[in-house]
Every structure is written in structure tokens, then in C-alpha cells.
Copies of this chain bind each other. A is one copy, B any other.
Amino acid sequence: MTHPRFTPLADSLPATVPFVGPETQERARGAAFAARLGANESLFGPSPLAVAAMAQAAADVWMYGDPENHDLRAALAAHHGAGPENIVVAEGIDGLLGYLVRLLVAPGDAVVTSDGAYPTLNFHVAGFGGHLHKVPYRGDHEDPDALLDRAAAVDAKLIYLANPDNPMGSHHPGSTIAAIIERLPPGTLLALDEAYVELAPEGTAPVIAADDPRVIRLRTFSKAYGMAGARVGYAMGAAPLIAAFNKVRNHFGVGRIVQAGALAALADTAHLAWVQAEVAASRAALGRIAVQNGLTPLPSATNFVTMDCGADGAFARRVLEALIARGIFVRMPFVAPQNRCIRVSTGPAAEMRAFADALPQALAAARG
């Protein structure tokens, strides 16, 4: 008998991973990237107050972090006008999605998402044996009607919707999200991924009662707050659903340094406002660079700009590879027709210049 004996489900899972990190690509090319514009990290950085709080907490790292994340949850509750019982903190939205899928999705249960949306959701659904149903984007937006119709048809446990959307940068107004919630099939939970919502126009985040049992909202400190490397996100929802995470989560999974950093970041509203302004300016700059090079920048409610390269996925792939060869880390959508695009993070002037310098060469190489 072989060691070990995996479960049939584990045996059936592919060895693929959701994302290849830029460090892996750097090791493969033998050189660091000149501009790291592929993972929608915040090149504008975290709050200096958060950095200071984390540096200070590092000296106390011999102590486990509070497994209840009490202070951070209390601060988030105050920030959102909810109760601490409506908030669970975990190892990023990735971690939260894993726990959520585990709580809801037994083998064969249906989940509905958009074809080309966040692949880590798909990784978790497959990982727990769920049946993933994908509906196409419509006009580079996730399609509420298609998601709802499919959820009703397949009796979905869960609909995944990111608003704003990654990888297209599009968004629906909060009123549309509110209408989706009203139209959910009985017993279908909306997992509303709001990773980028702090960077979206006013009104993108719908008003949702803290105890609404039909929706769980996912937020992160990885994007606008510039703390991707800390790995901390949170979910907001009705207390019974939030409490259920305690049945399965890694209770000590969010460490002491991370909790201190997130608490300080949340309090630094001035830094967030500065990032929002810088991101808006950089989106405009990326738009100009795209247009100057004959590409079409899509409207963005995020910290990245998705650019239509004007041809098919093979062409966009060549542009992407030519950029990477020139030290510019970018990514692209996975699925047609969105994969006619490349996706470029906003950032300070130096990185924008590096991208502006490399793009004409990359386009020439892709066409040549």
C-alpha cells in the first residue's frame, strides 16, 4: 500500500496553482523586474503609521496574536457601523474564500461565477469538490442577469461577484448590487468581493444591513491599504454565518504584527485619501499611455487599468511577454474575449515612465 493514502478528492485535484508569483518569473529570467505592475499591489505603499506599528510589533512577535482579532474587529465594526459579531478577520480574501467554500460547498454543490473572474475562488471550489458554473462577461462587466439565472437553474449555494471587477476594472453601481441581492434565488448566498471598493466611485459599495443573511462582503488590506504582503482581509455578514467561520478557521492564523499593522492602517484615513488621489491620477496617466500607443484603456474603478490591445489573446500574450522581457511585470485576463487585454497596475511616476518606455517596443515586438 502506498503512503500516504490521499482522499479521492485530493487525488483528483490538479497540481496547478492559482497564480505564479513575480518572484518565480524573476528567478526564471535571472533578473528582477524594473516595474512590478502585474499583481495590483499598491505601489504607493502602506501607511507609514502601519509600517511603524508593524516594526514595533515585531519586537513582541514572541507572543501569539490574539486569536479573536478583538481590537481589529472592533475597529472595523466601528468603521462600518456593524458589530464585531458581523466581522471575521483571516488570511486575506483568499483565506476567507477558502473557509467560505468549505462551510457551504459539499462535493457536487453548485457555485456560480463569471468566466475569467478571480481564479482563487475556482481553486477553492474545485478543492472542496464543488461544481463550478461559469457565465460569460457582458461588455467587460460581470453580468448580473446571467449570474442570477444560472444560480437559479443550478440551485447554487453561492454566487461569486467582484465589484469592482478584477481583471477588467469595471464596476456596477451599488444600486445594481442591491438589486442583485433582492433577486437572489432562495438559499443562494452572494459572495461580494469588494477588494478594490475603496478605489471605486462613491456609491459603488451598496448599503447592506449588517445582519442581512443573503450576502457576505469580502474586504482586504492588500489593495488600497497597500499591505498585500501582510495577508489580512475580513468578511462582513450576518452573525450566524460569521460565527461559523470559527468552526473551521486557523484561529491563530492572523499574526500579531499583521493585526497591529491593519489597525494602524485603518486609522490612517489621510493616507488612504492620498492613495485614492494618486491612483486616480495614475489611472489617467496609464490611459494616456495606452491611447498614445493605439491601445484602448477600459474605464477602471480599481488600482489598475486594463488595456484592449485591439486583437486576439495571442497578440495580447505577445505584448505581455515582450513587456516581461523588458522588465515590466504585468498580467492579462485568462479567458476570451477579455484576454485581448493586458492589465497594468497604477503606480508612481517612475514606474509609469518605465511602462511608457517599454510599451512601444513591446508592441513593435508583438507585431513583428
A contacts, CB < 8 Å to B: 1-10, 13-15, 17-19, 21, 23-24, 27, 36, 39, 41-46, 50-51, 54-55, 57-68, 70, 91-92, 94-95, 98, 102-106, 109, 127, 157-158, 186-189, 213-214, 216, 222, 226-231, 238, 241, 243-244, 246-248, 250-258, 261
Knowing A54-B58, A61-B54, A68-B24 are in contact, say whether A253-B241 is a contact too (CB < 8 A). no
Q: Please state if A58 and B68 are interface contacts (CB–CB under 8 Å).
A: no
Q: Please state if A13 and B248 are interface contacts (CB–CB under 8 Å).
A: yes
Q: For the A-B complex with A23-B66, A45-B59, A231-B253 known, give 10 more contacts whose Cβ atoms are closer than 8 Å.
A: A4-B104, A4-B158, A4-B216, A4-B241, A6-B244, A10-B248, A46-B61, A61-B227, A62-B227, A94-B253
Task: Pick the contact of A57: B1, B59, B63, B229 (CB < 8 A).
Answer: B229
Most chain B beta carbons < 10 A, residue from A98, A238, A257: A257
The residue in chain B whose Cβ has the minimal distance to the Cβ of A24 is B68
The residue in chain B whose Cβ has the minimal distance to the Cβ of A103 is B10
How many copies, total? 2
Q: Please state if A106 and B248 are interface contacts (CB–CB under 8 Å).
A: no
Q: Please state if A251 and B94 are interface contacts (CB–CB under 8 Å).
A: yes
What separation, in Å, do the CA atoms of A157 and B57 have in the docked complex? 40
What separation, in Å, do the CA atoms of A8 and B108 have in the docked complex? 13
Q: Please state if A261 and B58 are interface contacts (CB–CB under 8 Å).
A: yes
Q: Which 8 A-B pairs have the closest CB atoms?
A: A229-B256, A55-B55, A3-B213, A1-B187, A4-B189, A1-B186, A54-B58, A23-B66
Chain B residues whose CB sits within 8 angstroms of the CB of A248 once the complex forms: 10, 13, 127
Q: Please state if A61 and B94 are interface contacts (CB–CB under 8 Å).
A: no
CB distance from A7 to the nearest CB of B (A): 4
